[in-house]
Structure 1
Amino acid sequence: MVWRADPVDFSKRVDRDAIKGRSVLITGGADGLGYGIAKAVAESGAYVTIADMNETLGQQRQSELTEAGYHVHFVKADITSWESLTLAFKAAIEYSPTHSLDIVIANAGLSGGSILEKAFPKDLDENADLPQPSTLDLNVNLTGTYYTTVLALHYFKKTHSPSDNFKKHLILMSSLAGYAEDTLASTYMAAKFGVRGLWKSIRYQEDAFGFPFRTQLIAPCFVRTKMTESFVDHIAKAGVNVSQVEDVVGPVMRVLCDEEVSGRSLCTVGNKVFDMGDDPAGGDGSKALWKALADEEYFGPGAKGLVRYDEFFRSE
């Protein structure tokens, strides 16, 4: 256990040449946050493999970026399928000029519903048995991330060269829902807490893994993407700051390109970013979260309503 790790130095200049020529796999990279990250990484000179279920959009993204002169390869992949995801990892290694894998960004995810909807479904006959709930959101957000993590560690070690001092790098995309309470998206929250737990269990295990390694967690608040389009305007109208994709891409590129950053969790809210202090000294993220919630500059004047999430979303 690390009592207090060094927080991220946000004043430090980001040298994007640090990942030039490196092999990068991004799940869910055809749209939203994933595509924003994939584009930024490709612009830095990396060889990027986008693994996504949307074949039409994925092929379109590949064409757009390769025509712009970047190294991008699309692979159709279902992250809830071990076989499909394994093939995506092998494709990324094959695409790399050095037949290596250096960076994996486990970004794929989808929004989740509430346990209330599953425990108390509308129009259920009082004499009927409760139907088995879908676990698709858990399978994508947690199981898929777990599969991605296992495969990343395996192929990191398999492609590690003792002559290469570059630290293999795994970034897990979580959410502020992995720190806060959210009744109306409880299955999403459960998955993101699980992703955070997975990250905490591997972040300081470089010696055990047997190769140079570091990992980070990215925990955005609300980001304007297709996944949030059904409610994000309500969030903004209520006075809560909403991030744009580029507000999250910047912090991702910072941790990717600074090898001194290891085992840190970053929260993005609006155009602000802060280190969660997710270690025992920081109250496992609680100190930074409550400090930021109290500061309207970060979360906005409507942020206090987020503490009463159910009331917040049911108010108009």
Structure 2
Amino acid sequence: MYDLNGRKALVTGGARGLGQGMAEALAKAGASVVIADTAEDLGKAAADSLKDAGATAAFVPLDVTDDANWEAAITATIGELGGLDIVVNNAGVELSGLVVDLDPADIRKMLEINVLGTALGVKHAFRAMRPGGPAGSGGSVVNISSVAATIPFPGIAGYSATKSAVDRLTRVAAMEAGKLGYGVRVNCVYPGLVPTEMGMKLAADMVTLGLWPSAEAAVGDVIGLTPLGRLGEVGDMADAVVFLASDAAKFITGIGLPVDGGMGM
């Protein structure tokens, strides 16, 4: 049920962190994978690592906020892999700040990358996968939201708002794809806190904002709010993406899947 042999996947923000782990998990399940990112050196290295492990993989440059960039990346992916069945809209950015001190530039950047970037990813996945598209065999889109969309965690109002938007976008897109007969399922994942570079920067930001005395204290409180009693791991999130992309989820669309150890219940 989780066998992705013959599937072709595109993962945005796949050069590092959660995105890289998702690309690796898709490849281990049998998919051919294109990593799309603005970090060209890291992206090429990540793709080379997948190839060294025996997978079919490639890198394409992609600024997710640019419509023409998306069109070129989809064309390059289909040309490289011979089709497209899975798009993982993982690319995102988190910029912390208290509501009383919100920086409009930070909010605009998160809106551009987290919301517009995901929306364009869904748009171009639909155009490629729907009947008559250059891939044309349907497929699965997995958007990456966040537990921040489900809990009132301080210091991340802008990020929480954008990740809540990803959830709403996912549900409307799933409804449209179904009603228009695209054959594309659309779901999203709510990752909990994972100690990646981005996750640890968030913990450090909480200290800078005066919300916790130390990063360790912030992380400890997150663990305290998590019934399973630990932080998430990259593999936890990657496994959820493989599930939603696979035939095990063939009758699942329009959902937000919490992978947060119960934190957002």
Instruction: Report the TM-score, using the length of structure 2 for normalisation.
Output: 0.84
The structural deviation recorded for 1:256 is 1.7
The structural deviation recorded for 1:29 is 0.6
The equivalent residue for 2:237 is 248
The equivalent residue for 1:23 is 8
The equivalent residue for 2:38 is 53
The structural deviation recorded for 1:261 is 2.6
How many residues matched?
Answer: 241
The equivalent residue for 1:65 is 50
Deviations 1:114-148 (A, max 9, x none): 333236xxxxxxxxxxxx53421221111111111
The equivalent residue for 1:260 is 251
The structural deviation recorded for 1:16 is 2.6
Retained in 2: the 8 A contact 1:116–1:184?
Answer: no
The equivalent residue for 2:93 is 110
Deviations 1:12-62 (A, max 9, x none): xxx332x21111111001111111110011122211111001111111111
Residues 83 and 172 of structure 1, relative CA distance in 2, 3 Å threshold? same
Give the distance between the partners of 1:233 and 1:44, measured in 2 at CA.
35
The equivalent residue for 1:297 is none
Instruction: Report the TM-score, using the length of structure 1 for normalisation.
Output: 0.71
Higher relative contact order (CA 8 A, sep 6+): 2
The equivalent residue for 2:168 is 197
Match for 2:110: what amino acid? Answer: D
- Identity, in percent, stands at 27
Aligned pairs for 1:150-189 within 5 A: 150-157=123-130, 158-159=133-134, 161=136, 167-189=138-160
Give the distance between the partners of 1:47 and 1:82, measured in 2 at CA.
24
1:235 aligns with 2:218: yes
Deviations 1:218-241 (A, max 9, x none): 011211111011316433323433
Instruction: Tell me how large the CA RMSD over aligned residues is.
Output: 2.0
Give the distance between the partners of 1:79 and 1:207, measured in 2 at CA.
24
The equivalent residue for 1:148 is 121
Retained in 1: the 8 A contact 2:171–2:187?
Answer: no
Structure 1 unmatched ranges of 5 or more: 1-14, 120-131, 274-287, 293-316
Q: Partner of 1:16: helix, strand, or coil?
A: coil
Retained in 2: the 8 A contact 1:79–1:140?
Answer: yes
Q: Partner of 2:117: helix, strand, or coil?
A: helix
Considering only CA atoms, is the larger Rg found in Structure 1 or Structure 2? 1
Q: Partner of 2:172: helix, strand, or coil?
A: helix
Give the distance between the partners of 1:237 and 1:178, measured in 2 at CA.
20
Give the distance between the partners of 1:111 and 1:151, measured in 2 at CA.
24
Residues 39 and 153 of structure 1, relative CA distance in 2, 3 Å threshold? same
